[in-house]
Amino acid sequence: MTVVKLTAFVLLLVLAPSAGASMDLAARRSVTPTDIAVTRSYLRARHHYERAVKDDGLADAVAVHDLVARVSSQCPNVLAGAPSNKATEEITREADLEVSHALEHPQQQPTIAFASTIEQLRWSNRKLTYYVHGFAAEARANAELVAPDMCVDARVVAASGFKTIPTSTTRYARQNLCANSKVEVENSPGETGELNEIIGIMLKPYERPDERALIPRRLSKRTRHKKEQLASQRLAAAESEIANALGLPKAEPPQPLSNAPTCLSRPPVDRRLMIRGRSSLPLLGESRRADQPFADAPFGRHPSTPTED
C-alpha cells in the first residue's frame, strides 16, 4: 500500500539552517517594522502549535486503532479476492488516505488555529507571503478533510465485482491531492524544495535575538533521517493493518492520479517583468506532489523536519 505523506504538521516546522545566506543579506536591507512584527506572530503561533501537539503520539495510535477496529467489525474481509485492477487500486488509495487522515485527526484543532493565525500575516516580501499563505491553506485543507465511510465504499466495490469505483472514493482522492497542491515551490540550489524549509530561510532576516526560544533546535541529519524512517514504518504498519482488515491482497502502491485537479493559487508576479500587460516571469520550479510518499521526501509531509523534544 502507498505510504501517504503525513500532513505538514505531524513532524514539522523547523526553520532551515544556513542555506540561503545571500538571501538573508539582501532581505535585511529592506526589513520593515511590520516584517519584524509579523515574523514574531508567526513564530509564536508555531510555538503554540508545537506545544499543543507535542504529546499526541498516543492519540494518533488510538485513532488508527479505532479505524481498524471499526472496519474489522463492520466489513471484515469485504475486499477478499480483489483482482489487480483500477477499482482495487482506487479503494486501496482510499484506505491509505483514511489511515493518514486518522493519524492527523488529533492535531486538527491546533492545526486550524495555527493556519488561522498565519494566513492573515503579510510581509513586504511578496513571495514569502505567498508561501506562508499557501502553507496555511494546505494545513487548513488537510485538517478539514472529511473521510468517506470506508466500509460503505468497500461494499460498493465488492458488490460490483470490483468494477465500480464509488464517487466518494474518487472525490476524496482528488480533495486530498488538492489540499496538498495549493502552492508552487521554487527551489534554490541546496534546498530540498520543502515549503517549511524555504519559509524558514526567508524568515531569518526578520528574526530577532530574543526570539531564539521560539525556534526549535535543528536536528542532525542522522537523527532526522532516523525519525523519518520510524514515522514511515509506523505509517506503513498502519496501512498494512487496514488492508488486512479489508482482506486486500498485497499489491503495488496506487499510481499518482492521472487526472489531477488544478488547485494552485497564483504566485506573485514581479511587475518589473511585466511586458505590455503580460508577465514574462518564468515558471516556478517543480512543486511538491500530494501523492509523494513520506519515505521519499522530508516535509512538509512531509516531508517534514522533525524537532527534538
pLDDT digits (tens, 9 = 90+) for 229-250: 888 888 899 999 999 999 998 7
> CA angle at residue 257 from 85 to 138, to 5 degrees?
140
Q: Is the separation of the CB atoms in 56 and 134 below 8 Å?
A: no
DSSP secondary structure letter of residue 11: S
**What separation in angstroms does the CA of 287 have from each of 97, 194, 202, 236?**
20, 9, 18, 24
The domain spans of the chain are 21-290
Please check the confidence at residue 52 and state whether its pLDDT lies above 80. Answer: yes
CA gap 256, 292 in Å, rounded = 8
Enclosing H/E stretch for 279: strand 278-279
CA gap 20, 200 in Å, rounded = 10
Percent of the chain predicted with pLDDT > 90: 48
Cell 524549509 belongs to residue: 197
Percent of the chain predicted with pLDDT > 70: 72
Higher pLDDT: 202 or 293? It is: 202
**74-127 per-position pLDDT tens digit:** 999 999 999 999 999 999 999 999 999 999 999 999 999 999 999 999 999 999
